[in-house]
Amino acid sequence: MAHARMVRETVRDLGPAGLLGARDALLELTRGALRREFDALEPRLAPALARAAMELADEYLAEPDLSPSLLARLNVSVRTLHRAFATAEEPVAAYVRRRRLEQARRELLTPWDRPSIAEAAARWHFADSSHFARAFKKQYGEAPSRMIAAAEEERRQRQADSHRPSAWEGPSGSERPGRRTGNDFPLLGNAN
């Protein structure tokens, strides 16, 4: 009943994935109770709980106090939440850090209104920009400054390529010099 009560209390805060996870967990709890097989450590509930917690984490990703304790709002203990995330092959903190890094990366690669690296680090709640840079490099294999520079260079190259005349055009977009026209071949019926 605690899970049903928790779902009732948080249903307005859950997104589609959270609702699906809550529904799956409720079905598994009901199934286990009917079969009298319920165990507080029921492993089949863990994936649904982890999905619901991930959905909740994604909704609160920008909140500075996002933590396993906050995610335990799903009416489970922090310990149960950690066990559920074990089925997701990623601890709770690693999931939150990865999702925050993804958001920061997306912002840093945006060509307009890009925050500085320090601003992105602060916005996504890393201790400081050097901590952020280390976590970023570990996740993506290169420092954020190098990734930004490479993206800018690629953008400049694409822009230059889109403005470069093709091999069949002259500098002003005219026909390529030395190209023959139909009038150059009198035997083809275009004789003057």
Looking at every residue in the chain, the average pLDDT score rounds to 79
**High-pLDDT (> 90) share of the chain, %:** 36
How far is it, in rounded angstroms, from Cα 44 to Cα 58? 23
For 91-113, write each residue's pLDDT tens digit.
Answer: 999 999 999 999 999 999 998 88
Tell me: pLDDT of 43 over 80.
no
For 49-84, write each residue's pLDDT tens digit.
Answer: 888 899 999 999 999 999 998 888 777 888 888 888
For 119-160, write each residue's pLDDT tens digit.
Answer: 999 999 999 999 999 999 999 999 999 999 999 999 899 888
Q: Which residues pair with 175 in a beta bridge?
A: 169
How far is it, in rounded angstroms, from Cα 53 to Cα 6? 13
Instruction: Output the pLDDT for position 58.
Output: 94
Cβ atoms 54, 14 nearer than 8 A:
no
How far is it, in rounded angstroms, from Cα 22 to Cα 186? 81
Tell me: pLDDT of 186 over 60.
no
pLDDT tier at 179 (50, 70, 90 boundaries)?
Answer: low
Of the candidates 2, 17, 10, the one whose C-alpha atom is nearest the C-alpha of residue 54 is: 17
pTM value is: 0.63
Instruction: Output the pLDDT for position 133.
Output: 96
Instruction: Output the pLDDT for position 38.
Output: 39
